[in-house]
Amino acid sequence: MLQGGQTWKFPNLPTIVSTGVVGGPFEKDGQIPNDFDKFHDNIWMEQDSFEKGQRILIEDAIEIALQKRKLIEDDVQFFISGDLLNQLTPSSFAARTNKIPYLGIFSACSTAAEGLAIAAFLVNAQGAQHVLTGASSHHSATEKQYRYPTEYGSQKPPTAQWTVTGAGVGLVSTANYMKDNKAPRVTAATIGRVIDMGLTDPFNLGGAMAPAAVDTIIRHFQDLQLPPNYYDLIVTGDLALIGRKAALALLHEKGMKIEESRFQDCGMMIYREHQSVQSGASGAGCCATVLYGHLLNQMKQGMFQKMLFVATGALHSPLTFQQNETIPCIAHAVAIEYQ
């Protein structure tokens, strides 16, 4: 199952059989609204705090994913989830509601890929038949914790990104569950290393995370001995405008000539040009909503068959920033094929 130094191969082909994707009002005005299952019309989600609202996003996404397959919580063996807030409280409190055995994970904005890799590993090893996995973020809750409350009205530089209000979950099941029906299969996953290039600017996380994305992509191809054009699409996230350019340049510098059209980023897919999001989207909910909504929908429509999903995360915190630490970053890669 272990191939090379960092990559798992999944010969039993764990299958993404269902998804649930939920967003907020700002995401509803974006460029991929048809790939969301549900939107909330106000950022409070009828709760008295943004953090409680984020919990609602997760609960809604889980309910939608289960309803699509006419399953209930008792049918699922594990729930793997993470977010950006202190002690993963939105994810943990959602787990309190659904009562599915719970694994809380933190990998910042790369949480969606880490969760999918673990879920696929469990299913491939016959440790479960059904695993729910996902990630979420809430713009105002994240701003409050990492920067300033939105009421403060602080100005951001062009390199900054907009945290997505959204949750995306996938139901990963054994290959024989779908029988004759087509579904995206998880074929491999590369677990990333922590890369720190000494950057300290929390308003340029795309630039900070780009080297981690490049390191994981190169190791994935080396471990599996794949040609550079094997995947129809390599999707990072969320490097956004600045980080994507840096990552593409680094890949070419290291001799990996990936066509620009095959190299996209989740942080550049959610919002429209007229929305003031500086460099693009971010947050644990960014990759989760784009993957389990937009990208898998495109896959099922036949736009591509082989995708390498490479979610990136900045592993800093408000405390480390105050202590003048640099920003360590990570990226995890998951290979998904649809045939």
pLDDT in tens, 282-296: 999 999 999 999 999
Backbone angle region of 73, left / alpha / beta, with phi > 0 → left and psi within -120 to 50 → alpha: alpha
In this prediction, the residues of the chain whose per-residue pLDDT falls under 70 are 148-153, 179-181
Give pLDDT, residue 151: 67
The amino acid sitting at 130 is: H
% of the chain with per-residue pLDDT over 70:
97
Sign of CA dihedral 319, 325, 327, 328: negative
The pTM for the full model equals: 0.96
| Tokens representing residue 105 in the block | 């994970």
Q: Which CATH superfamily does the domain covering 2-176 fall into?
A: Stage V sporulation protein AD (3.40.47.40)
Secondary structure class of 152 (helix, strand, coil): helix
CATH code of the domain occupying 186-337: 3.40.47.40
Q: Compute the distance between CA of residue 77 and CA of residue 61 in angstroms, rounded to an integer.
A: 17
- Spatial neighbors of 264 by CB under 8 A, at least 6 apart, are 233, 234, 235, 236, 244
Burial 246-284 (b: 16+ CB within 10 A, else e): bbbebbeeeeeebeeebbbbbbbbbbeeeeebbbbbbbb
pLDDT, residue 289, reads 98
pLDDT of residue 180: 61
Domain(s) of CATH 3.40.47.40: residues in the chain:
2-176, 186-337
Q: What is the pLDDT, as a whole number, of residue 1?
A: 82
